[in-house]
Structure formats: C-alpha cells, structure tokens
C-alpha cells in the first residue's frame, strides 16, 4: 500500500478469481464457464459494421437492452438495471443499501465476493452458518434487521431454496433489502423474479456469464422494484454512466433473441451434471445435490487440495478452498460430456496412483 492510500483500506484483501491460465492446454472446469459457444446470432451481431461504430459512445441508458430483458422476464424496463458483469450489480447494491451502521448478513459459505465488498465499504459482516448439510435455513435470516445477500442456488455448494422460502425471509424483514444472487438459476432452480412485483425489498441479480456463454463479454443485470432500481441507477450514473460497451450491448441483444439455444444448452448441462454426479457416486464420492452448472464433491480418501493438485498435473483444472468446512471438497464445473469423461478418467488415475 502506498502512503497515499486511504488507511481504511489497509486490511483490504481483494477477491481472488479462479485461475485463468493463459495457455489453453487445460480442461478448464474451475470457473463455471459454459462449454458451449455463443449462438450464431451473436457472431452475426458483433459485425464489422458494429466495430466500425466504436468511435461513438454507447447508449448510456441501455434502453433497448433493458426493454428486451424486461420483456424476457415479464417486468418493466424500470425494473431492470444492466451492469458490467453481476459483480458490478453487487458493488452498486453494497454502496446503495449497506453501510457501517446497517451491516449485512450472508451465509458463512457463499460467493467470496460478498465479504470483499463488505470490507471495501466498511460494512460489518454477519456470517450466518449454513446447516451441517450445507443447506440454507430461511429462518436464520428472519428479522436480522439488516440487508441480506445470498446466492440461490448457492456457490460453491450448488444447493438452492424455493421462492416460497425466500418469500418468508422477505416478509420477516420488509424494511431491509434482500439481494438474491441468481447467477446459477438457469440450470434447474426456480427464480424469485415473480416476487419482485410483490416485495419492494427484493433485488434479484443475474448474469450472462454462466447460462448464456458470455463470461468474456461481461454482462450482469438486476431486477427489482422501480425504487431499488432507481437507487442503483443513481449509483451507476455517479460512477460510470457508460458502463456497457457497444460490442457487449450488441452481443447481449442477440443473445436474448436466441433464448431457446441457451435454455437448451442449460438442459444439456444439467443432464451432463446429473450423469457426472452418478459416476462420482459409483466411485464413493459424496456430492451435494446441485441445481447449478457445477458439482461440489468430496473424494473419500483425499482432501480437496490433494485432488486438485493431482487433477491439475493431469491437465484438468478444478477449484478447492482451504477452509475448515470446505477442505474436503472440490468444485467441478460441468463442461461438455467429453470433458467430463476426461475429468472422470483423471479422477480414476489420480486415485490409482496413491
């Protein structure tokens, strides 16, 4: 830290993303990307004509994109915010709705970015332990008197709760924002978006990075009451009003026109996931039930880190965490069926070697 930095950031430990090897020689199952490319319409939309217009600013209101997202999700454009990835949604939401007095509650095991944002903005963090089986107990969040954020389905566990359960949380503290991070919702879970019209304290965050094959394009969005979205817009326009570039905007519009392609890919990924889970069960792994594009699974005789190392040596990247509750597990992104065969073969070879 330089002598010029605000001392309140002295203890700040930035988020550490999963490794992004620059050489592509790994089977990359570590950052929950889609194994499938964008739809053909996206390739057509990022056209030479669009690149030629890069000298002009994008629409700072993202009007077309917000309208199209609104139509897709059955809400109004005033209920939609778009952002440079859903991390930016989270960033805006922490700024807008949390502070040193409010604090913020989140599961002890969830997306690692929440504690980073809490530390960045000096928001006291109330970590609520998940149950022994890594499920989220709605009643643990009743009447905490502070904003709440959780991923549903959760990461890295893969478990989800039903909207009716989220509704109980919303009802039990109507005076604080409940931010439901639905980054992984398209792989089989149920979205809370239909609750937005009923609860003005509900904010749902989503991303094109997982189910819509656009991790490289950076597009996230939030759906919520017009009041909450207006607040986030105010923050967006006070930090970076041109946050969505022209090429991402064009790609995102074409993505929404190809919704069937992406939802079909999600079904394929869910099938591959369930088959992979079966294969792991046959091998004695204990795997959490997943409604996402990854599996959280523990090998009977190796720690997550050990298995990670052995898989890496065989060209397969997965992710592990060295914390007490997670250390037995690895998180494996669901790739193509062929990639999962490679993964399983690498698992078998890693275990034989012992």
> For residues 69-128, which are near a copy of itself according to CB under 8 A?
84-85, 87-88, 91, 95-99, 116-117, 119-120
Angle of CA points 57, 61, 62, to nearest 5°: 80
Stretch 193-212 residues interacting with a copy of itself (CB under 8 A): 200-201, 209
Residue bearing tokens 């199952």: 29
Taking CB under 8 A as the binding criterion, the range among 43-51, 68-76, 299-307, 343-351 that sits at the site for a copy of itself is: 43-51
> For a copy of itself, which is the closer residue by CB, 2 or 353?
2
Closer to a copy of itself by Cβ: residue 175 or 352: 175
Query: Residue from 107, 231, 297, 308 that binds a copy of itself (CB under 8 A)?
Result: 231
Choose the binding region for a copy of itself from 159-167, 174-182, 291-299, 318-326 (rule: CB under 8 A).
Answer: 174-182
Token reading at 60: 């700072």
Contact partners, residue 331, CB within 8 Å, separation at least 6? 30, 155, 156, 294, 295, 296, 318, 319, 320
| Parallel, antiparallel or unpaired: strands 80-83 and 220-224 | antiparallel
What tokens does 140 get?
């643990």
Stretch binding a copy of itself (CB under 8 A), from 25-33, 65-73, 301-309, 312-320: 25-33
Output DSSP code: residue 60. T
Question: CB-wise, 186 or 287, nearer to a copy of itself?
Answer: 186
CA–CA dist 81, 79 (Å, integer):
7
Given 27, 28, 221, 330, the residue binding a copy of itself (CB under 8 A)? 28
Residues 6+ apart with CB under 8 A from 24: none
Select the residue interacting with a copy of itself from 129, 241, 284, 315 (CB under 8 A). Answer: 241
Tokens for 330, please give them.
Answer: 């690895």
Stated as kind and residue range, the H or E segment containing 172 is helix 163-172
Q: Is 304 in the site for a copy of itself (CB under 8 A)?
A: no
Q: Of how many residues is the chain composed?
A: 354
Site of tokens 């009003």: 241
Q: Does residue 46 touch a copy of itself according to CB under 8 A? A: yes
Q: Which is nearer to a copy of itself, 56 or 354 (CB)?
A: 56
Q: Is residue 38 a contact residue for a copy of itself (CB under 8 A)? A: yes
Contacts (Cβ under 8 Å, ≥6 apart) of 67: 77
CA nearest to 186, candidates 209, 219, 157: 209
Q: Which is nearer to a copy of itself, 236 or 310 (CB)?
A: 236
Q: How far is the CB of 131 from a copy of itself (least distance, A)?
A: 29
Q: Does 171 bind a copy of itself (CB under 8 A)?
A: no
The smaller minimum CB distance to a copy of itself, of residues 156 and 217, is found at: 217
Q: Does 181 bind a copy of itself (CB under 8 A)?
A: no
Q: How far is the CB of 92 from a copy of itself (least distance, A)?
A: 10
In what helix (H) or strand (E) does residue 27 lie, and over which residues does it extend? strand 27-28
Q: Is 3 in the site for a copy of itself (CB under 8 A)?
A: yes
């Amino acid at each position: 830290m330089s002598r010029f930095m605000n001392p309140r950031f002295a203890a700040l430990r930035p988020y550490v993303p999963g490794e992004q090897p620059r050489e592509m020689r790994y089977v990359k199952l570590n950052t929950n990307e889609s194994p499938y490319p964008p739809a053909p319409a996206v390739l057509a939309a990022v056209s030479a004509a669009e690149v030629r217009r890069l000298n002009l600013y994008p629409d700072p209101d993202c009007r077309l994109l917000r309208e199209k997202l609104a139509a897709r999700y059955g809400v109004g454009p005033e209920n939609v915010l778009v952002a440079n990835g859903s991390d930016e949604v989270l960033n805006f939401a922490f700024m807008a709705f949390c502070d040193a007095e409010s604090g913020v509650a989140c599961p002890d095991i969830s997306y690692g970015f929440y504690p980073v944002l809490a530390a960045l903005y000096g928001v006291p963090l109330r970590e609520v332990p998940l149950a022994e089986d890594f499920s989220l107990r709605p009643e643990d969040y009743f009447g905490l008197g502070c904003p709440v954020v959780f991923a549903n389905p959760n990461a890295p566990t893969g478990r989800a709760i039903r909207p009716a359960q989220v509704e109980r949380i919303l009802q039990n503290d109507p005076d604080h924002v409940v931010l439901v991070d639905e980054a992984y919702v398209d792989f089989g879970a149920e979205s809370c978006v239909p609750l937005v019209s009923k609860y003005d304290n509900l904010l749902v965050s989503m991303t094109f990075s997982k189910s819509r094959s656009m991790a490289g394009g950076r597009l996230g969005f939030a759906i919520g009451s017009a009041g909450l979205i207006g607040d986030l817009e105010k923050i967006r326009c006070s930090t970076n009003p041109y946050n969505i570039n022209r090429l991402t905007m064009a790609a995102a519009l074409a993505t929404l026109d190809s919704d069937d392609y992406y939802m079909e890919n999600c079904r394929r990924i869910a099938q591959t996931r369930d088959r992979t889970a079966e294969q792991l069960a046959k091998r004695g792994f204990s795997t959490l039930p997943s409604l996402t594009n990854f599996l959280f699974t523990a090998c009977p005789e190796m720690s997550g880190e050990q298995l990670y190392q052995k898989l890496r040596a065989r060209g397969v990247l997965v992710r592990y965490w060295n914390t007490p509750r997670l250390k037995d597990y690895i998180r494996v992104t669901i790739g193509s069926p062929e990639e999962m065969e490679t993964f399983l073969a690498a698992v078998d070879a890693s275990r034989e070697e012992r």
